[in-house]
Structure 1
Amino acid sequence: MAEHYSSFERGGRRWLFQRLTAVFLIGVLAFHFMLLHFVNHAADITFAGTQARMGQWSYFATMWLFLVTATFHGVNGVYNALINQGISGSQKTAVKYVLVVAGLLLVAQGTRVALAMNGLI
């Protein structure tokens, strides 16, 4: 039988955060699909409506947390997939820092867009 291998340390923080972010993402995706695909149909979604939704602090906070959580979940998943494929040494370090910088840039740009849609900038 094949030996089980994972780059996650069992009981480690990254393992736990990967699972917690997955649960949060499933819930927020369900909310997103319900609100923007069933309550409001695609033809009814407008720029003004998006600005109105983002003007509500609870919706804004939920979408910003969705951005941060999805970014962490994706970056952490890619990093661990590459480790599982055998990347190590200086390549592992370079990939880690590239992914961290990419994740921070994504969150910064997403935050900028969310604040603009909210009317705060």
Structure 2
Amino acid sequence: MAERYSSFRKGGRLWLWQRITAAFLIVVLAFHFFLLHFVHHADEVTFLMSANRMETWSYYSLMVLFLVTATFHGVNGVYNALINVGLSGTKRQVVKGVLVVASLLLLVQGFRTANAWAGIDLLPIL
């Protein structure tokens, strides 16, 4: 019988967080689909409508949490998939570093975009 192999360590928290973020993403994606395909049809959505939604703290917070969760879930999944196919040694460390940098860049740009849509200026010009 084939052995089960997983890059997640037994008793590790990353396995659990991968499942928690998956469940959260399913719920948020269902909300998104419902809001933008049943409440408002895609052809009715405008930039102004999106900006107005982002100005409410509940929607803004949900979208920022969605950004962080999706980034973690995606990058963690890709990294562990690569480990499962045999990535090791120096290549593993390089890929890990690239994924961390890519994640940080994605998060920074995502926060900048969310803040711009919400009208939040964290660095006001004096």
TM-score norm. by structure 2 comes to 0.94
Deviation digits for residues 8-39 of structure 1, max 9, x if unmatched? 11321110110000010001001100111110
Query: Hey, what's the Cα distance between the residues in 2 that align with 1:31 and 1:10?
Result: 33
Report the AA paired with residue 109 of structure 1: Q
Structure 1 residue 42, shift from structure 2 partner = 0.7
Distance 2:107 2:42 in 1: 26
| Partner residue, 2:77 | 77
4+ residue stretches of structure 1 with deviation over 6 A? Answer: none
- Give the letter aligned to residue 34 of structure 1: F
1:79, distance to aligned residue in structure 2 (A): 0.3
Q: Structure 2: which 5+ residue stretches go unaligned?
A: 122-126
Q: Which string of whole-angstrom CA distances, capped at 9 and with x for unpartnered residues, describes residues 55-91 of structure 1?
A: 0000000001000000000000000000001010111
Structure 2 counterpart of 1:83, one-letter code: I
CA RMSD of aligned residues (A): 0.7
Identical-residue share of aligned pairs (%): 65
Q: Which ranges in structure 1 are unaligned for 5 or more consecutive residues?
A: none
CA-CA distance at 1:102 after TM superposition: 0.3
Equivalent residue number for residue 124 of structure 2 = none
The residue aligned with 1:96 is 96
Aligned-partner Cα distance in 2 for 1:111–1:101: 15
Alignment of 1:1-121 (within 5 A): 1-121=1-121
Amino acid at match of 1:106: L
- Three-state SS of the structure 2 residue aligned to 1:5 is coil
1:107 shift after superposition: 0.7
Q: Distance in 2 between matches of 1:71 and 1:38?
A: 26
CA separation in 1, counterparts of 2:104 and 2:93? 17
